[in-house]
Structure 1
């Protein structure tokens, strides 16, 4: 899946959780949604984008959520890659 589509979807999730008054709860909600409902390749690609492009295009709430909850999740190791044309599944939002 194209990184622009992943960024758009992540930002849509962030927009939903941005209305939560508790910022920690919002960050947890974003991270859990991505962890539970995105295919591993989609998550991997998003973390690669955060690492290589500093998450360009991602809303601050999404970047903060990913940073706060990265430990223990399937963030990519430095020596792994996913082909650009890899089947990344989908997300209903």
Structure 2
């Protein structure tokens, strides 16, 4: 694994966590875990799960640890809710 790849993943996880931190620690952890679970490629998750949480914020670290243990969070934000087939106007994407 290249050093720059894991550094990029850490930065991304920290940015996601920072966006949710206004929700409070517990909810931000769940929202961060949900986002990473829904949008990150399995290879990205595998790399960061094996990293040991180095250089992660407390929220990002807790989210990564939760996912690495196999816990799948419920959807936390509209950003991870998707429309049903032929349904319009229910997600933040339009």
TM-score in terms of structure 1 length: 0.65
Work out which structure has the larger RCO, using CA pairs closer than 8 Å and 6 or more positions apart in sequence: 1
Number of corresponding residues:
69
For structure 2, the residue ranges without an aligned partner over 5 or more in a row are: 73-94
CA RMSD of aligned residues (A): 2.0
Partner in structure 1 of residue 39 of structure 2: 37
- Residue 22 of structure 2: which of 19, 31, 34 is its match? 19
* Misfit runs of 4+, over 4 Å: none
Larger proportion of helix: 2
Q: Determine helix, strand or coil for the equivalent of 1:17.
A: helix
For structure 1, the residue ranges without an aligned partner over 5 or more in a row are: 75-93
